[in-house]
């Protein structure tokens, strides 16, 4: 295990947050697109690998945040997290709470969350409060990691499901940030234990083995590139023309090398690219119809995280083996919506 310790990160901070949402009939002080949710509760648990190579969980951090934009409790949210408008009157200002959270994190860690919605809500809250939206440069979504090492699936599972899967005793209700963070950290711990035993047993057939580093990506790489082809009479010509676009890294402008060529799955075309400095990017093309019934190809290039890169790789595999299962829902969720 000592070799593992050197090559693997030893501190993970699992973040979970609750946020209030605007109420449709109350005029919103900010554009809900800019601020889809205002953070009211921050929970975090630190998972550390100690010198005996065991995992230790810290006590959960819980910070109640006093919202200044959405101060009336949204009923749907309230039903889930069981808070009232009155509860929103107390708590720390967001800036203060975030500073305490960063102090809790320390310097050298991998930021973790379940799914990527916490990260995008956090970013919108940082921006609206005039703070830098740059996050810790290592982020890991626990959900696909659990999926891969626990069940070998790319299905999206709930925290609840994963807690049942590992038979983690449920002593508290879900849906308070600190408790959810604790359950997610427990799932991460179990998944890491599975991962390490997998690593040892799969040393012989390394091909199937996905290193932990592939699950960790830089969440600050949010730049993307979109392009459109010329207009053509058929969808096929539009797609083919869009596929000819030369692609460059949106950050450093390096010409990208092709990891997987363009291939079609249903009406969507996928590809995978690599920048030597900034890692993997997923490409996606969909033909769009013009008002006069012609077509153009609309392309999108985005930095990949673990789940979006595998999603494309698995699609490619399933095309090769003739077992393409087109999951519309995942198309938009994992690789990105238009």
Query: What are the residues binding Zn ion (CB under 5 A)?
Result: 249, 251-252, 254, 275, 277-278
Cβ at position 256, least distance to Zn ion in Å = 8
Q: If you count them, how many residues does the chain have? A: 338
Cβ at position 214, least distance to Zn ion in Å = 18
For residues 8 and 280, which CB has a smaller minimum distance to Zn ion in the complex?
280
For residues 1 and 252, which CB has a smaller minimum distance to Zn ion in the complex?
252
For residues 177 and 281, which CB has a smaller minimum distance to Zn ion in the complex?
281
Give the CA distances from residue 33 to residues 53, 120, 160, 171, 184, in Å, rounded to whole numbers and listed in that order. Answer: 44, 12, 29, 37, 28
SS3 301: strand
For residues 196 and 248, which CB has a smaller minimum distance to Zn ion in the complex?
248
Taking CB atoms, the residue at the shortest distance from Zn ion is 249
Cβ at position 222, least distance to Zn ion in Å = 14
Residue 284 CB neighbours (<10 A) = 23
Task: Classify residue 85 by its DSSP letter.
Answer: G
Cβ at position 248, least distance to Zn ion in Å = 8
For residues 265 and 300, which CB has a smaller minimum distance to Zn ion in the complex?
300
Kindly state the greatest CA–CA separation across the chain: 68
Task: Classify residue 292 by its DSSP letter.
Answer: T
The position carrying tokens 């519309």 is 328
For residues 96 and 254, which CB has a smaller minimum distance to Zn ion in the complex?
254
SS3 215: helix
Cβ at position 281, least distance to Zn ion in Å = 9
Cβ at position 139, least distance to Zn ion in Å = 18
- The CA-CA-CA angle for residues 262, 266, 272, to 5°, reads 25
Pick from 4, 14, 1, 52: nearest CA to 211: 4
Cα–Cα distance for residue pair 183/162, rounded to 1 Å: 9
């Amino acid at each position: 295990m000592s070799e593992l310790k050197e090559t693997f990160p030893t501190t993970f901070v699992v973040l979970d947050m609750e946020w209030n949402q605007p109420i449709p009939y109350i005029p919103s002080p900010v554009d809900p697109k800019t601020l889809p949710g205002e953070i009211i509760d921050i929970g975090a648990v630190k998972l550390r690998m100690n010198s005996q190579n065991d995992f230790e969980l810290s006590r959960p951090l819980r910070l109640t945040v006093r919202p200044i934009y959405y101060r009336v409790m949204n009923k749907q949210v309230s039903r889930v997290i069981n808070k009232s408008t009155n509860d929103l009157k107390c708590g720390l200002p967001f800036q203060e709470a975030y500073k305490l959270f960063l102090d809790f994190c320390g310097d050298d860690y991998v930021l973790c969350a379940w799914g990527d919605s916490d990260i995008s809500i956090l970013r919108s809250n940082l921006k609206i409060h005039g703070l830098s939206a740059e996050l810790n440069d290592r982020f890991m979504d626990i959900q696909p990691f659990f999926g891969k090492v626990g069940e070998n699936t790319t299905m999206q599972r709930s925290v609840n499901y994963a807690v049942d899967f590992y038979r983690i005793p449920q002593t508290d209700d879900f849906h308070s940030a600190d408790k959810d963070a604790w359950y997610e950290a427990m799932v991460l711990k179990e998944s890491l234990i599975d991962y390490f035993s997998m690593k040892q047993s799969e040393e012989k057939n390394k091909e199937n083995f996905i290193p932990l580093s592939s699950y960790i990506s830089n969440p600050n790489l949010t730049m993307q590139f979109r392009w459109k082809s010329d207009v053509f009479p058929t969808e096929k010509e539009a797609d083919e023309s869009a596929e000819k676009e030369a692609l460059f890294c949106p950050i450093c402008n390096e010409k990208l090398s092709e990891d997987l060529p363009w291939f079609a799955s249903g009406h969507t075309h996928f590809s995978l690219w690599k920048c030597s400095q900034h890692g993997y990017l997923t490409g996606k093309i969909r033909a769009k119809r013009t008002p006069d019934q012609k077509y153009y190809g609309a392309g999108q290039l985005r930095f990949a995280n673990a789940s979006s890169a595998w999603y494309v790789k698995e699609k490619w595999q399933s095309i090769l083996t003739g077992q393409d299962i087109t999951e519309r829902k995942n198309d938009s969720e994992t690789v990105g919506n238009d």
